[in-house]
């Protein structure tokens, strides 16, 4: 049996932020969500998140994890004090407690599995995840007898100069035999440079303790400041791009592309330079995205091209072409084989298959049939200053250049709207609507000299 405790009560002073540190986003998920996701292959009996600073906000952010129990650490008196808060909750628990820092977001599930396995195989009182770190500055240093028999952890700030030379660091990830740990927890002292209760001291009191070195030290990067947040983003990007390329995605210039790990890129998509794909986005096979595009929480079908455009919270179906310089947002739903061209903005609008909206248009709160042709400069006037109103445009209709469709309005199928019209009344099927002043010709007319 294993229970998990994620320490997430600290403010994270070094972030210089009003947002609790563990809620800072990293590639589409907060730090603490990433820690929760790293438990995917462990299936713990119970998961505790220790909250304190802005605890309500942290709870809210983790709302969707219904199996998480929150434990309040009202005053943050250190990592040991945080774990002490579990004593009433795990009274009588006979299993192991895996303790994770909420600010270590890049852990691989396999690493946690192997920590647990060593802990159980060796029947340890505690097992500690460590790394040989090229830049150990700031981390607790771990001293061992032989290669992995634990002797002592000393926090960076409590280290002598000689101790600081030790490159083996404490990852902040531990597995404890709970009955043994629960005996030690009440005895923790605050005799250190920060005057805090340290969980690392509990490790110092337990026996036997061994350490497990993580293979890739980048996994255990702890986020204490914005620079480390950026470093973690870099590591995450490298992982995501390597995985994308391995699965058959072409990244023309990986360095100028950013990806979230909540996205799906099907094989044979091509991501051009300066392109960013975020949130719950899916890009279908054969599509070419970019250069210079942002796709956010959107589903792009197969064989779509998106060029210098922004697509958010929208859908683009198979074979459509978007851009350059288009903006699809707020549930734009573009059918198959459409063309959405230069300087076109589409919001909360459904567009039927094979419809063209090629230049300089705004369509909002509209539904368009199939094979519609929207002329350059067609605008839906959908907002009267108080409410948004719908526009319906039937299949095969053509709007002339510079038409204004004043909503609410229904335009039938197979109609033509004359260029420059301001349409305020419904247009029946198979008709021509002209709503502009007639042209006047004054023959043999010259300007008079005054
Ligand atoms: C800790 C370890 C250090 C290790 C490093 C790895 C201790 C004493 N030191 O140091 O050996 O190398 O992590 O990243 O544990 N927290 C609480 N309540 C508190 C204090 C902290 O929940 O009262 C949480 C924080 O929100 C954070 C985590 O515990 O998520 C770690 O705290 P932090 O202050 O960042 O510890 P470090 O100084 O990094
Ligand atoms: Ca830390």
Q: What pLDDT is stored for residue 450 in this prediction?
A: 74
199 lies in the same domain as 305: no
User: Is the CB–ligand 1 distance for residue 103 below 6 Å?
Assistant: yes
Q: For atom 20 of ligand 1, which residue has the closest CA?
A: 78
User: Is the CB–ligand 1 distance for residue 360 below 6 Å?
Assistant: no
268 lies in the same domain as 297: yes
Q: What pLDDT is stored for residue 217 in this prediction?
A: 93
User: Is the CB–ligand 1 distance for residue 102 below 6 Å?
Assistant: yes
User: With pLDDT > 90 as the criterion, what percentage of the chain qualifies?
Assistant: 98
Pocket test for ligand 1, best of 19, 73, 79 (most atoms within 8 A of CB): 79
Q: What pLDDT is stored for residue 184 in this prediction?
A: 96
Residue 449 lies in a domain: no
Residue 147 scores a pLDDT above 90: no
Summary mean pLDDT of the chain: 96
User: Is the CB–ligand 1 distance for residue 22 below 6 Å?
Assistant: yes
Domain boundary among 159, 193, 220: 220
Q: What pLDDT is stored for residue 449 in this prediction?
A: 83
User: Is the CB–ligand 1 distance for residue 105 below 6 Å?
Assistant: no
Domain boundary among 192, 220, 248: 220
User: Is the CB–ligand 1 distance for residue 104 below 6 Å?
Assistant: yes
Model pLDDT for residues 151-209, shown as the tens digit of each residue = 999 999 999 999 999 999 999 999 999 999 999 999 999 999 999 999 999 999 999 99
Q: What pLDDT is stored for residue 272 in this prediction?
A: 98
Residue 117 scores a pLDDT above 90: yes
Active-site pick, 24, 156, 255, 359: 359
97 lies in the same domain as 232: no
160 lies in the same domain as 277: no
Ligand 1 centroid distance, CA of 65 (Å): 23
Q: How many independent structural domains does the chain possess?
A: 2
Residue 19 lies in a domain: yes
Q: What pLDDT is stored for residue 11 in this prediction?
A: 87
Domain at 35, CATH number: 3.90.550.10
Residue 441 lies in a domain: no
Residue 320 lies in a domain: yes
- Regarding predicted confidence, which is higher, 200 or 147? 200
Give, as residue ranges, everything with CB less than 5 Å from ion ligand 2. 103, 222, 224
Domain boundary among 171, 202, 220: 220
Span 105-110, mean pLDDT?
96
274 lies in the same domain as 377: yes
Ligand 2 centroid distance, CA of 124 (Å): 25
Q: What pLDDT is stored for residue 180 in this prediction?
A: 98
Q: What pLDDT is stored for residue 22 in this prediction?
A: 97
Residue 253 scores a pLDDT above 90: yes
Pocket test for ligand 1, best of 10, 49, 78, 164 (most atoms within 8 A of CB): 10
67 lies in the same domain as 199: yes
Atom of ligand 1 nearest to the CA of 75: 23
Residue 94 lies in a domain: yes
Model pLDDT for residues 207-224, shown as the tens digit of each residue = 999 999 998 999 999 999
201 lies in the same domain as 60: yes
User: Is the CB–ligand 1 distance for residue 78 below 6 Å?
Assistant: yes
263 lies in the same domain as 314: yes
Span 250-278, mean pLDDT?
97
Domain at 326, CATH number: 2.160.10.10
Atom of ligand 1 nearest to the CA of 197: 8
Ligand 1 centroid distance, CA of 79 (Å): 6
Q: For atom 14 of ligand 1, which residue has the closest CA?
A: 222
User: Is the CB–ligand 1 distance for residue 139 below 6 Å?
Assistant: yes
Model pLDDT for residues 13-29, shown as the tens digit of each residue = 999 999 999 999 999 99
Span 388-415, mean pLDDT?
98
Contact present, 15 and 222 (Cβ < 8 Å): no
Residue 46 lies in a domain: yes
Span 412-425, mean pLDDT?
98
Active site residue 81: no
pTM over 0.85: yes
User: Is the CB–ligand 1 distance for residue 8 below 6 Å?
Assistant: yes
340 lies in the same domain as 421: yes
Residue 259 scores a pLDDT above 90: yes
Model pLDDT for residues 279-316, shown as the tens digit of each residue = 999 999 999 999 999 999 999 999 999 999 999 999 99
188 lies in the same domain as 233: no
Span 125-151, mean pLDDT?
94
30 lies in the same domain as 174: yes
Range of the domain at 270: 226-433
Ligand 2 centroid distance, CA of 180 (Å): 25
Report the candidate in 273, 262, 272, 325 with the shortest Cα–Cα distance to residue 299.
Answer: 262
Residue 438 lies in a domain: no
Ligand 1 centroid distance, CA of 42 (Å): 23
Give the chain as a 3 state SS string. CEEEEEEECCCCHHHCCCCCHHHCEECCEEHHHHHHHCCCCCCCCEEEEEECCCHHHHHHHCCCCCCEEEEECCCCCCHHHHHHCCCCCCCCCCCEEEEEECCCCCCCHHHHHHHHHHHHHHCCCEEEEEEECCCCCCCCEEEEECCCEEEEEECHHHCCHHHHCCCEEEEEEEEEEHHHHHHHHHHCCCCCCCCCCCHHHHHHHCCCEEEEECCCHHHHCCCCCHHHHHHHHHHHHHHHHHHHHHCCCEECCHHHCEECCCCEECCCCEECCCCEEECCCEECCCCEECCCCEEECCEECCCCEECCCEEECCEECCCCEECCCEEEECCCEECCCCEEEEEEEEECCEECCCCEEEEEEEEECEEECCCCEECCCCEEECECCCCECCEEECCCCEECCCCEEECCEEECCCCEECCCCEECCCECCCCEECCCCCCCCCCCCCCCCC
192 lies in the same domain as 264: no
CA distance 59 to 66: 11
Residue 272 lies in a domain: yes
């Amino acid at each position: 049996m294993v229970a998990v405790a994620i320490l997430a009560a600290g403010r994270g002073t070094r972030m210089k932020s009003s947002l609790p540190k563990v809620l800072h986003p990293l590639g589409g998920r907060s730090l603490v969500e990433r820690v929760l996701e790293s438990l995917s292959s462990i299936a713990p009996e119970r998961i505790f998140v220790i909250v304190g600073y802005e605890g309500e906000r942290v709870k809210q952010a983790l709302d969707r994890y219904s199996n998480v129990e929150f434990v309040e650490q009202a005053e943050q008196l250190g990592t040991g004090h945080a774990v002490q808060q579990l004593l009433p909750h795990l009274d009588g628990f006979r299993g192991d407690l895996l303790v994770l820092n909420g600010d270590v977001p890049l852990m691989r599930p396999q690493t946690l599995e192997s920590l647990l396995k060593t802990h159980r195989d060796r029947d340890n009182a505690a097992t500690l995840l460590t790394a040989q770190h090229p830049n150990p500055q700031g981390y607790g240093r771990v001293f061992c007898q032989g290669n992995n028999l634990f002797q002592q952890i000393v926090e960076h700030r409590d280290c002598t100069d000689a101790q600081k030379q030790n490159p083996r660091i404490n990852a902040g990830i531990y597995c404890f035999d709970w009955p043994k740990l629960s005996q030690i927890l009440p005895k923790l002292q605050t005799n250190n440079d920060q005057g805090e209760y340290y969980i690392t001291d509990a490790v110092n009191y337990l026996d036997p303790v061994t350490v497990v070195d993580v293979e890739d030290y980048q996994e255990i990067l702890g986020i204490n400041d914005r620079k480390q947040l950026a470093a973690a983003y870099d590591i995450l990007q490298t992982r995501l791009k390597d995985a994308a390329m391995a699965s058959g995605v072409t990244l023309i210039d990986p360095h100028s592309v950013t990806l979230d790990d909540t996205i799906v890129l099907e094989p044979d998509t091509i991501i051009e330079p300066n392109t960013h794909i975020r949130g719950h986005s899916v890009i279908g096979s054969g599509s070419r995205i970019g250069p210079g595009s942002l796709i956010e929480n959107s589903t792009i079908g197969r064989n779509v091209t998106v060029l210098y455009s922004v697509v958010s919270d929208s859908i683009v179906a198979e074979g459509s072409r978007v851009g350059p310089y288009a903006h699809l947002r707020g549930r734009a739903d573009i059918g198959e084989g459409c063309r959405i061209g230069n300087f076109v903005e589409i919001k909360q609008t459904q567009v039927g298959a094979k419809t063209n909206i090629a230049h300089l248009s705004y369509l909002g709160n509209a539904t368009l049939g199939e094979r519609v042709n929207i002329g350059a400069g067609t605008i839906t006037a959908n907002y009267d200053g108080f409410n948004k109103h719908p526009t319906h445009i039937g299949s095969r209709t053509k709007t002339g250049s510079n038409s204004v469709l004043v909503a609410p309005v229904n335009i039938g199928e197979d109609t033509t709207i004359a260029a420059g019209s301001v349409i305020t009344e419904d247009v029946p099927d198979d008709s021509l609507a002209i709503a502009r002043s007639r042209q006047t010709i004054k023959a043999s007319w010259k300007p008079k000299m005054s």
